[in-house]
Structure 1
Amino acid sequence: MKHFLLFFIIILFNSCQYFDKKVPSEKDLLQKELKAINWKEVDEFPSVADCDKIESKIMRQQCFFEYMTQLIQFKLSVDTLSMLYPELDTIEVKVTIYPNSRLQFEPLFPKDSVAYDTIKIDSILKARLVGFPKINPAIKRGIPVKTQFILPVILKVE
C-alpha cells in the first residue's frame, strides 16, 4: 500500500504541469482556422438535378460544365448572333452563380475586339440566356457560396 501511495503522489505532482497550460484565445483560434481554409476551392461544385446522382466529385463537376455549355449553346443556336458576326465562332462566357442560385452571364471579348459590337452581343446574350433550371450553388464548409467560371461556347458547329 505504501508503494501505491508513493507512486500515486509522484504521478499527481508530475501531472500538474498538464493542467497549467494556457488556453489560446478565441481570436487566435479563429485566425488559425481562417489561415487553414483554402479559399480558392469549394467543397462541392455547383450542380443541377441531372448531375446530382453521380457519386464522383470530378465526374459531377464535368457533368455540370458540359450541361451548362450545351444549354448555353442550345439557347444561342436559335439566335442571329452567328449571322450578324460570321467570323465569331466561339465566345467565352463568364458564369456567376450566387448563393441564392441566381445566375449572371457576361461575355468576355479579346482586348482587340473592336470588330464586334460588344453592347449588342451582350444584350443578345442577356435576352437569350434566361429560363435556366434550378442550379444548386457551390458549397464551402456547409454554406452556399458565390462561384465564377468561364465557359467557351461554340456558336457555329460545322
Structure 2
Amino acid sequence: MRKVVVLACICLFTSCDWFTSKEGKTQELVHEEMQNINFNEVDRYPMFSDCDEMVSKEEQKKCFENTLLMHFSMTLQDFDFVIETEVKDTIFVDFMMDRNGAISVLGIRKNANIDDQMPEFNDIITQSLKSMPKIQPALKRGIPVSAKFRIPIVLNSN
C-alpha cells in the first residue's frame, strides 16, 4: 500500500506539467529561442549581383566589402583633389542598409586635416553610396533585415 501511495504521489507531481497550456509552452519555447539568437550578426551578408551566395559567410563578407571599396575607389578616382599637405589617413564610413536594400550614410569619421583639405569628401561618399548597383539586403533566419556596417577607406597622397 505504501508503494502505491508513493507511486501515486510521483505521478501526481510529474503530471503537473501535463496541465500546462499549449500557449504557455509555446511562450516558453519562443523565449528560449530568442535567448539563442545572436542579434549582432547576420546569417547572410548583403549581396551584390556578382557575389556568390553559396560561399561561406566570410567569403560573402569579403565580396561585399571588396565591391564597396572598389566602388568608392572608382568614384574617388574621378575627382581631382587639390591637397596642400601629404595625407595618409584612414576614414571610416558608417552606413545602414535597410531591409529593402537602400543605403544611407550614418556618419563619416575623419580627422580635421582631411575636412580642411577636402570639404566635399562627405558629399562624394554619400553620392557614391546612392549610385551603388542593386544590393540584396542582409538576411537573419531567412528574413531581410537592416544592418549597420563600417568600411575603412585608406587615403594616401604622395
| Counterpart in the other structure of 1:7 | none
How far apart in 1 are the matches of 2:58 and 2:79? 32
CA 78–44 in structure 1, closer or farther in 2 if over 3 Å, else same: same
- The CA RMSD over aligned residues, in Å, is 3.1
Tell me if the contact between 1:85 and 1:116 (Cα under 8 Å) persists in the aligned partners.
Answer: no
CA 64–80 in structure 1, closer or farther in 2 if over 3 Å, else same: same
CA 50–72 in structure 1, closer or farther in 2 if over 3 Å, else same: same
Query: In percent, how many aligned pairs have the same letter?
Result: 27
Structure 2 residues not aligned, in runs of 5+? 1-10
Secondary structure, aligned partner of 1:116: helix
Tell me if the contact between 1:69 and 1:153 (Cα under 8 Å) persists in the aligned partners.
Answer: yes
Q: Normalising to structure 2: TM-score of the pair?
A: 0.71
| Counterpart in the other structure of 1:63 | 63
How far apart are residue 56 of structure 1 and its match?
A: 2.5
AA of the residue aligned to 2:73? Q
Q: Normalising to structure 1: TM-score of the pair?
A: 0.71
Q: Deviations over 1:46-91 (max 9, x none)?
A: 111111255222212211111111111111121234x247544432
As a proportion of its length, which structure holds more strand?
2
Aligned residues: 143
How far apart in 1 are the matches of 2:59 and 2:78? 29
Tell me if the contact between 2:103 and 2:129 (Cα under 8 Å) persists in the aligned partners.
Answer: no
Q: Does 1:116 align with 2:118?
A: no
| Counterpart in the other structure of 1:31 | 31
How far apart in 1 are the matches of 2:103 and 2:28? 37
AA of the residue aligned to 1:139? L
Structure 1 residues not aligned, in runs of 5+? 1-13
